[in-house]
Structure 1
Amino acid sequence: MLLITAEGDTKNLTVNLLNLVIPLSMEIPVFTVDAFTNVPFKGNPAAVCLIENELDDELYQSISAEMNLSETAFITRQTSMDFSSGARFGLRWFSPKTEVPLCGHATLASAAVLFYIKNNVNPVVVFETVSGELYVRQNGDSIIMDFPLNNPKPQDQNEVKELLRAAVGDLPIQDVCYSETTKKLMVRLADTCDRSELMSLKPKAEALLRHETTGKIRSLIVTLKGAQNAETGHDFYSRVFAPWVGVPEDPVTGSAHSVLAGYWSEKLGKKKMLAYQCSSRGGELRLEIRDDGRLDISGQAQIILQGTLKF
Structure 2
Amino acid sequence: MEIPIFTVDAFTNVPFKGNPAAICLMDNELQDDLYQSIAAEMNLSETAFITRRNSKDFSSGAKFGLRWFSPKTEVALCGHATLASAAVLFYIKKNINPVVVFETMSGDLYVRQHEESLIMDFPLNKPKPQDQHEIKDLLKAAVGDLPIQDVCYSPSTKKLMIRLADTCDRSELISLRPEAKTLLRNETTGKIKSLIVTLKGPQTTQSGYDFYSRVFAPWVGVPEDPVTGSAHTVLAGYWSEKLEKKKMMAYQCSSRGGEVKMQIREDGRLDIIGQAQIILQGTFKI
* TM, length-normalised to structure 2: 1.00
Deviation at 1:274, TM superposition (A): 0.2
Aligned residues: 286
SS at match of 2:214: strand
Q: Give the number of the structure with larger relative contact order, counting CA–CA contacts within 8 Å between residues 6 or more apart.
A: 2
User: Is structure 2 residue 115 aligned with structure 1 residue 147?
Assistant: no
Question: Equivalents in 2 of 1:135, 1:38: separation in Å?
Answer: 21
Of the candidates 162, 171, 174, which is equivalent to residue 149 of structure 2? 174
Question: Equivalents in 2 of 1:60, 1:44: separation in Å?
Answer: 20
User: Is structure 2 residue 203 aligned with structure 1 residue 265?
Assistant: no
Question: Equivalents in 2 of 1:239, 1:81: separation in Å?
Answer: 40
Question: Equivalents in 2 of 1:80, 1:182: separation in Å?
Answer: 31
Question: Equivalents in 1 of 2:7, 2:85: separation in Å?
Answer: 10
Question: Equivalents in 1 of 2:205, 2:101: separation in Å?
Answer: 37
Question: Equivalents in 2 of 1:232, 1:134: separation in Å?
Answer: 31
Contact 1:53 1:78 in 2 (8 A): no
Of the candidates 170, 182, 185, which is equivalent to residue 210 of structure 1? 185
User: Is structure 2 residue 133 aligned with structure 1 residue 158?
Assistant: yes
Report the equivalent of 1:123: 98
User: Is structure 2 residue 117 aligned with structure 1 residue 138?
Assistant: no
Of the candidates 153, 158, 162, which is equivalent to residue 183 of structure 1? 158
Mean Cα deviation higher: 77-86 or 181-190: 77-86
Write out per-residue CA displacement over residues 41-95 of structure 1, whole angstroms, 9 at most, x where no aligned residue.
0000000000011110000000000000000000000212210000000000000
Question: Equivalents in 2 of 1:239, 1:94: separation in Å?
Answer: 20
Percent of pairs identical after alignment?
82
Aligned partner letter, 2:249? L
Aligned partner letter, 1:252? V
Q: How does 1:253-292 map to 2 (within 5 A)?
A: 253-292=228-267
Q: How does 1:34-49 map to 2 (within 5 A)?
A: 34-49=9-24
Deviation at 1:228, TM superposition (A): 1.9
SS at match of 1:73: strand
Q: How does 1:196-275 map to 2 (within 5 A)?
A: 196-275=171-250
Question: Equivalents in 1 of 2:199, 2:83: separation in Å?
Answer: 24
Write out per-residue CA displacement over residues 245-272 of structure 1, whole angstroms, 9 at most, x where no aligned residue.
0000000000000000010000000000
Deviation at 1:126, TM superposition (A): 0.2
Q: How does 1:26-37 map to 2 (within 5 A)?
A: 26-37=1-12
Of the candidates 46, 59, 66, which is equivalent to residue 71 of structure 1? 46
Question: Equivalents in 2 of 1:69, 1:80: separation in Å?
Answer: 29
Deviation at 1:105, TM superposition (A): 0.1
Aligned partner letter, 1:110? S
Contact 1:237 1:277 in 2 (8 A): yes
Question: Equivalents in 2 of 1:206, 1:68: separation in Å?
Answer: 18
Deviation at 1:102, TM superposition (A): 0.1
SS at match of 1:213: coil
Q: How does 1:95-106 map to 2 (within 5 A)?
A: 95-106=70-81
Deviation at 1:229, TM superposition (A): 2.6
Aligned partner letter, 2:203? Q
User: Is structure 2 residue 34 aligned with structure 1 residue 59?
Assistant: yes
SS at match of 1:40: coil
Question: Equivalents in 2 of 1:227, 1:33: separation in Å?
Answer: 31
Question: Equivalents in 2 of 1:67, 1:293: separation in Å?
Answer: 35
SS at match of 2:190: coil
Q: Which runs of 5+ in 1 are unaligned?
A: 1-25
Q: Which runs of 5+ in 2 are unaligned?
A: none
Report the equivalent of 1:22: none
User: Is structure 2 residue 61 aligned with structure 1 residue 86?
Assistant: yes
Question: Equivalents in 1 of 2:235, 2:54: separation in Å?
Answer: 34
Contact 1:127 1:133 in 2 (8 A): yes
* TM, length-normalised to structure 1: 0.92
Report the equivalent of 1:9: none
Write out per-residue CA displacement over residues 173-197 of structure 1, whole angstroms, 9 at most, x where no aligned residue.
0000000000000000000000000
Structure number with bigger Rg: 1
